Amino acid sequence: MSTQPFMPNLPGAIADKAVRLGLMEEIRTLARRRNAIILAHNYQWPDVQDIADFTGDSLGLSLEAQNTDAEFIVFCGVHFMAESAKILNPDKKVLLPNLSAGCSLADSISPESLSEWMSRYPDHTVVTYVNSTAEVKAMSDICCTSANAISIVKSLTNNKILFTPDRNLGNWVKKHVPEKEIVVYDGACPTHDVLRGANVSKTRSAYPDAVVIAHPECREDIIALADEVCSTSAMINRIEKYPDARTFIVATESGIVHQMKKRFPDRQFVLADGCIGCRLHCPYMKMISLDDVKRSLSETKFEITVEPEILASARVALDRMLAVPRDN
């Protein structure tokens, strides 16, 4: 079985190495000239990750966005991530190099559907995963990411929780916080939710000694057979815990393998889907190309804006989240 992730021929991949390196150098020069910081999520194309000042998970990137003195934040991720950076930095210009980079999970909950759920559970504290729009965050009591969801729910005084929108993450939290009554909304990330325990078991049968590392957006049957379940940055860090393991089966979006190989070049990483990453490919995360980043920086366009009233309420939910330490 090949260890190379399947990479469809989307605009992020520039075959000619000299052209690619030249473009990357141009982007770095432009970023310096514009006083811009480039943030890239662990799922971005490898080249896009390599031009970033910081790569990381949603929580790590939110913290970088909050700490920067740069005038521009170029966010290579999806819309809700850039929107969170804007909410945390209302006075900075936040650019998303391709404004079509959305998120199916964020779209699975609207202000109207949340309002309907809230009316059904009026005594519950609303915990909303950051994979949601600013409007939904603004209606929530507190946000969470995959890196702090358990600590966030444990930190709340109310024992009645409405967890939105990801059902797999919600069920994982529920298992770790049995003392609370947690009602879970019925949303999911299609990239993770398409994976089944049978796919992972089949992949594992080819690598019986491999360590299985999964993201909590995976379904319960995968969580049950994983050795580690954590946020994308923690998935990379956890490899250190297994100095004798040669092979790791990775149950999340394929872009993460780039950082894993960079940090641990002597290990083997196999995507969990048994079809060499073709299912573990988020089309939105792969929408940003090097050309998009260059254009966004040189023309300072594709700016994220949030209505002031929505921003102020969403900020409360994000600030409450940032006050709680990460799980992992």
Rule CB under 6 A: is residue 101 a binding residue for ligand 13P?
no
Rule CB under 6 A: is residue 108 a binding residue for ligand 13P?
no
Rule CB under 6 A: is residue 57 a binding residue for ligand 13P?
yes
Rule CB under 6 A: is residue 109 a binding residue for ligand 13P?
no
Rule CB under 6 A: is residue 58 a binding residue for ligand 13P?
yes
CA distance to 21, 110, 126, 184, 271, per residue, from 164 (Å): 41, 11, 7, 6, 27
Element (H, E) at 117: helix 111-120
Rule CB under 6 A: is residue 327 a binding residue for ligand 13P?
no
* In the complex, minimum distance from the CB of residue 191 to ligand 13P, in angstroms, rounded to a whole number: 7
CB 84 within 8 A of CB 94: no
Rule CB under 6 A: is residue 296 a binding residue for ligand 13P?
no
* In the complex, minimum distance from the CB of residue 253 to ligand 13P, in angstroms, rounded to a whole number: 6
The C-alpha atoms of residue 322 and residue 273 are separated, in whole angstroms, by 33
Amino acid letter at 65? A
Query: CA nearest 215: which of 77, 328, 95?
Result: 328
* In the complex, minimum distance from the CB of residue 233 to ligand 13P, in angstroms, rounded to a whole number: 6
* In the complex, minimum distance from the CB of residue 171 to ligand 13P, in angstroms, rounded to a whole number: 15
In degrees, to the nearest 5, what angle opens at C-alpha 145 toward C-alphas 144 and 146? Answer: 130
* Contacting ligand 13P within 231-290 (CB under 6 A): 231-232
Rule CB under 6 A: is residue 199 a binding residue for ligand 13P?
no
List, in sequence order, every residue forming a beta bridge with 163; answer none if it has no partner: 127, 184
* Contacting ligand 13P within 110-149 (CB under 6 A): 131, 145-147
φ, ψ of residue 79 in degrees (nearest 5): -55, -45
Contact footprint for ligand 13P (CB under 6 A): 42, 57-58, 131, 145-147, 189, 215, 217, 231-232
